[in-house]
Amino acid sequence: MVDVGGKPRTHRAAVAEAFVRMNPAMVRRLRLADLDKGDALAVARIAGISASKKVADLVPLAHPISLSHVALQFDLNERAGMVRIEASVESDGPTGVELEAMTSASVAALNLYDMIKKTERGATIECVRLLLKTGGASGDYRRSEQSRPSEYSQPSEHPDTKPTVRGPRSDESKRGEATNRGQATKRGQATKRGQATKRGQATKRGEATKRGQATKRGQATQRGDATKAPRRGTGGRPT
């Protein structure tokens, strides 16, 4: 370990962040605290605070530090399918608190994963990094805001929820659709003509049938009349 006994005690501060990528629907459930295990954000906040005080147990060459303030904030981006965790740590001592801030954000992210892993095992923890550091002989440090992951403001690329992107239709697609509509119209017209033809044939057959029936009835009537006529003898008088 580095000897920090001779360093002056000054105010130190550090801010770190971590991202947890997940299904957008799970981000909504986190917002509503709709999980079997309870309020995941509250659990992650307590876990992050506790972790910041145990860095010396996790990092062998880190110094035990008395912290004066620890806070965590959660930014839920449902559209991007991400949760951003920001951990802020302060201390009055001889060494910086960068590791405490990064450990706090990391453990908070791990606890979020633990809370959602039953239905969201594909979630990922990304971009654990230092954003700000103040105090000490080395001076201040601030990460440029432009270096934030661009995908944070984009739709999620989570493996379970890849969005379907439809580009502009090509001229060939439009011509194909027009051709299909034209063929469908022609088939419809042909069908209508066929139906009209069938109805016309049926009408003609009906008329022919009626004429045939009328002819048969006329012939039958004539035969009946001939049968009813009186027979005449050889002399021309009725018999």
Q: Which amino acids are annotated catalytic?
A: 114
Alpha-carbon gap, residue 138 to 134, rounded angstroms = 9
Neighbouring-strand partners of residue 69: 90
Alpha-carbon gap, residue 59 to 45, rounded angstroms = 21
- Burial label, 131 (beta-carbon count in 10 A; 0-12, 13-18, 19+): buried
Give yes or no for a contact between 79 and 151, defined as CB atoms under 8 angstroms apart.
Answer: no
